[in-house]
Amino acid sequence: MIVGLPDSDGYDAIFTVVDRFSKMVHYIPTTSKATAIDVANLFVNFVWKLHGLPKKTILDRGPNFNAKFLQQLYKRLGVEPHFTTAYRPQVDGQSERANQFVEIYLCHYINHNQNDWVAFLPLAEFTYNNGVHSGSKQSPFFTCYGFHPQFAVGDTSEQVVPAADDHANILKKGYEEAKAALSIAQEVYKKYYDRKRCIAPTFVVGEKVFLDAANVRTDRPSKKLSHKRLGPYEVLEKVGRTSYKLKLPKSMKDHPTFHVSLLHGNPTDEFGRNPEQPPPVVTPQGEKEYEVQTILNSKKKGRTLYYFVKWKGYGDEENSWEPKVNLKNSPDLVRQFHERHPDAPRP
């Protein structure tokens, strides 16, 4: 699921479905607030009617997919869910590659206001499915159908129909843009994957390790600085060859198994000392949240209000834009900011 997109025809997210065998992809516009029932309906309306039901699925452990309704739906239909290790995008690499392609394509082709991306999803989907996959050495279309669908825009006809000619030229240009985006996405993904395949550290049971905070879900949408690490947490067991199960606090609702690329030993400086870190604030739910020192600015993006935050104990290079919902524990700072800047965007 790609979320956080600008509103386009009432949609702000893309539900990506990839077939593991053929690599065929479907880009389905949806909303970030889609429920388990919504996701199930999308699957039936856009995937099942074309391909039938899958024997197995690989899900991303997002709240939509983990909802009890969807689990029961799969059970009744005889589908066996298989979950990826928490936050290990390489495991579900086909979806990551498909998502990266459509993001690159839309960034280059949508209008300045970024509110027309839904109109370009069909062309993006066609281009991806008509492109040769590096693993199978053939396109998803050819794998499924045994041929490549035709896409050819002829020269302008003698009978002048300006609107039709303009539309044909737009399609032709869009197809060329999409093919270029696919090449860029394949190159970027290869570099990313190769970098992640470097020699990984090993840990022993009982050792304390730190966990990357960037993707950690909490009961509240509290902000963790992207470079910060949570922990340390005790290693309970090694799972497979490259993952570890951690002893997490009860307040953390995450799946406790993480890929080694997200784990780090005790960080020290060049003198072997533990680096000093600003002490985190412990919320009533027992979660660790980094403290806001002050609010510097505000802006609205679509319907969402953002605040430019300076974090206590960190330099200005770590200042970041945060949605209003992330500042639920800082109402006094929000009030003080608007008192100082009465004309700044506000709720």
Instruction: State pTM to two decimals.
Output: 0.49
Residue-wise pLDDT tens digits, 74-133: 776 777 766 555 555 444 566 777 777 777 767 665 665 567 789 888 888 988 898 887
* 98 plus 178 within the same structural domain: yes
The tokens 């949240």 sit on which residue? Answer: 289
Q: CATH code at 66?
A: 3.30.420.10
CA angle 273, 279, 282 (to 5 degrees): 140
Average pLDDT, the chain: 73
15-38 burial code (b ≥16 CB/10 A, e <16): bbbbbeebbbbbbbbbeeebebee
Tokens of 308: 């430019």
- Confidence at residue 2, expressed as pLDDT on a 0 to 100 scale: 82
* 260 plus 329 within the same structural domain: no
Distance (Å, whole) CA 218 – CA 224:
10
Domain carrying residue 52: 13-196
Q: Of 61-75, 138-152, 267-281, where does the model show the most confidence?
A: 138-152
* 94 plus 192 within the same structural domain: yes
Distance (Å, whole) CA 343 – CA 156:
54
Q: What is the largest CA-CA distance in the chain?
A: 79
Residue percentage of the chain with pLDDT more than 90: 12
- The residue among 282, 303, 321 that closes a domain is 282
What are the strands of the beta sheet with 263-264, ordered from one edge?
Answer: 257-259, 243-247, 229-239, 208-212, 263-264
123-134 burial code (b ≥16 CB/10 A, e <16): bbbbbbbbbebe
Residue percentage of the chain with pLDDT more than 70: 59
- The residue among 196, 225, 245 that closes a domain is 196
* 162 plus 223 within the same structural domain: no
The band of 219, judged by pLDDT with boundaries at 50, 70 and 90, is very low
Which residues are CB-neighbours of 37 under 8 A, at least 6 positions away? 69
* 213 plus 166 within the same structural domain: no
What is the residue-wise DSSP string for 32-94? TT--HHHHHHHHIIIIIHHH---SEEEE---HHHH-HHHHHHHHHHT-EEEEPPBT-TTTTHH
Handedness of CA 20, 24, 30, 36 (dihedral sign): negative
DSSP state of 260: G
Closest CA to 310 of 323, 320, 300: 320
Contact yes or no for 345/306 (Cβ under 8 A): no
Residue 260 in any domain: the answer is yes
- The residue among 196, 217, 241 that closes a domain is 196
- Confidence at residue 339, expressed as pLDDT on a 0 to 100 scale: 93
pLDDT above 70: residue 333 = yes
| Least reliable range by pLDDT among 222-226, 276-280, 333-337, 340-344 | 222-226
- Confidence at residue 271, expressed as pLDDT on a 0 to 100 scale: 42
Residue 346 in any domain: the answer is no
Total domains in the fold of the chain? 3
- Confidence at residue 227, expressed as pLDDT on a 0 to 100 scale: 37
* 83 plus 213 within the same structural domain: no
Distance (Å, whole) CA 306 – CA 322:
5
Distance (Å, whole) CA 266 – CA 263:
10
